[in-house]
Amino acid sequence: MINSPTVADLERAIRNVPDFPQPGIQFKDITPVLADARLFAGSVDLLIDGFKPGDVDAVVGIDARGFIFAAAAALRLQTGFVPVRKKGKLPYQTHEENYALEYGSNTIAMHTDALKPGNRVLLVDDLLATGGTAGAAIALIEKLGATILEISFLIELKFLNGRERLKGHPVRSLITY
């Protein structure tokens, strides 16, 4: 792309919203990146840099902001998109995976026929915090016998050590805090 954005351009566009959705959380708002055609396209290109059409059998995205980047990445790589959704949202048969949150727990799901054994998969989400969500998504992907090539995030909150929970898989993050 002509005049592709740099990671610094993306970082400048990300808006920090203090105390959302609850006191103490510094919410990283990626909507200004999405609203700018150059930044949106550039962020997707950086998330999949090094991969080309034919390398990947599916891009898996995590509900909900992960869908936006993963779907765009799938189009770029000329492959399919697979959603990992919150429990109860997918209409067909699902596998589910539960993971702990700071308070309570959460369950995510994937259709049982979404991937085939041996499929080469990229997993994409907007942000890596504790790694609980991505870790559960890894379990769902591997339950279907697929292979994870890489896990890509726009943002990583390093101080939460989320990478520890994704051990054994290559992890890419464009912007770290």
The residues carrying an active-site annotation are 65, 102
176 forms bridges with which residues in the sheet?
Answer: 156
In whole angstroms, give the CA distance from residue 170 to residue 81: 20
Asked if residue 133 binds ligand AMP (CB under 6 A), the reply is yes
Is the link from the previous residue into 21 a cis peptide, with omega within 30 of 0?
A: yes
**Residue 61 has what DSSP assignment?**
E
Q: Binding ligand AMP by CB under 6 A: which of 46, 114, 127, 174?
A: 127
Q: Binding ligand AMP by CB under 6 A: which of 46, 51, 69, 126?
A: 126
Q: Binding ligand AMP by CB under 6 A: which of 5, 42, 61, 162?
A: 162
Asked if residue 175 binds ligand AMP (CB under 6 A), the reply is no
Our CB check for ligand AMP shows the closer of 14 and 74 to be 14
| Cβ pair 84, 61 in contact under 8 A | yes
Q: Binding ligand AMP by CB under 6 A: which of 5, 33, 46, 65?
A: 65
The full DSSP string for 126-141 is EEESSSHHHHHHHHHH
Q: Which residues bind ligand AMP (CB under 6 A)?
A: 25-28, 62, 65-66, 125-134, 162
